[in-house]
Amino acid sequence: MIGVLDLSDGLAVHAKGGARAHYGPVQSIPGARLTPGDALAVASWFVKKCGLREIYIADLDALRGRPLQRALISNIAALGSSLWLDAGISSVVSAQAALSAGASRVIVALETLSSFDALAAVCQAVGGKTAFSLDIRRGEPFMKATAPHAGDKAEALVARAVAAGAGSIIVLDLSRVGTRRGVDVALLERVRTAVPDVELIVGGGVRGPSDLAALEKAGCDAVLVATALYDGRLQPSDLAKP
């Protein structure tokens, strides 16, 4: 299980349905007092109370074309968990900047991907530290309309990502994030069939322990979780599951 931390203007915000303009500060976490939006406190809770060894950070500032929240990311990295960083990374320079800020793994997301040649260049430069995020909205791959890969199906996209050198695939349904709607298991199964030999991670809609069992059966290696931890539907005792 990988805890998700969405960062906007220095605050931890609660992602819901992919409508980033409407994300508000995280208001509470189980068993701890929280100043709304205190990102370092939420990250510390993930590590010390939930026992998470990995945190996925979405730097929403960077995804909007603003500077990387470098100082905050470095402070979170200092807590000791490995960081997966999604920050609009689409070049070797931006990947190296992410690693220098404290990321352990860099995420090249379909949403901001310019080309699979760019992904291949990142993979060659940083090796196995690269993950490809298959971003989904309303059941369809979410990408720039002008991208050369626009119109490709999910299975083709992940196959091209693995061919470019990505060592991990993340299936992230932005429209399900924070909604407690459950995960699109059928899509996950198709992706697993297309790329059977890479690490497969899923995020968006995870509700609780029953979802973890279904995802494990579908071939998922790990899950991205925020809301189910914030509302207590998932407990540290569930960490033995993917």
| CATH code of the domain covering residue 112 | 3.20.20.70
Which range scores top for mean pLDDT: 13-22, 159-168, 176-185?
A: 159-168
pLDDT for 47 beyond 90: yes
pLDDT reading at 46 higher than 60:
yes
Q: Give the mean pLDDT of 216-239.
A: 86
- Where do we find the tokens 């968990």? 81
Q: Please give the average per-residue pLDDT across 211-238, as a whole number.
A: 87
- Amino acid letter at 41? A
pLDDT at 177 exceeding the cut of 90: no
The pLDDT assigned to 213 comes to 87
**The pLDDT of residue 240:** 57
Q: pLDDT band for position 184 (50/70/90)?
A: confident
Regarding pTM above 0.85, the answer is yes
Query: Per residue in 3-30, pLDDT tens?
Result: 999 999 999 999 887 677 778 999 999 9
Per-residue pLDDT tens digits for 70-116: 999 999 999 999 999 999 999 999 999 999 999 999 999 999 999 99
Measured CA to CA, the distance from residue 18 to residue 137 in angstroms comes to: 8
Q: How far is CA 150 from the centre of its chain?
A: 21
The contacts of residue 137 (CB under 8 Å, 6+ apart) are: 18, 173, 174, 175
User: Are the CB atoms for 86 and 107 separated by under 8 Å?
Assistant: yes
Give the pLDDT of residue 233.
Answer: 85
Q: Which residues, 6 or more positions from 71, have their beta carbon under 8 angstroms from its beta carbon?
A: none
Q: How many separate domains does the chain show? A: 1
- Within the chain, residue ranges assigned H as helices are 39-48, 60-63, 70-77, 92-100, 116-126, 154-163, 185-194, 209-217, 227-230
Mean pLDDT score across all residues of the chain:
91
Domain boundaries, position 19: 2-240
Matching residue, tokens 């992230």: 172
For the cut 70, the answer to whether the pLDDT of residue 241 exceeds it is no
Q: What share of the chain has pLDDT > 90, as a percent? A: 68
Cα–Cα distance between 238 and 203 in angstroms, integer?
Answer: 16
Name, in order, each residue with C-beta under 8 angstroms of 142's C-beta and a sequence gap of 6 or more: 110, 111, 135, 136, 174
| Confidence at 239, pLDDT banded by 50, 70, 90 | low
Rounded to an integer, the average pLDDT of 177-206 is 89
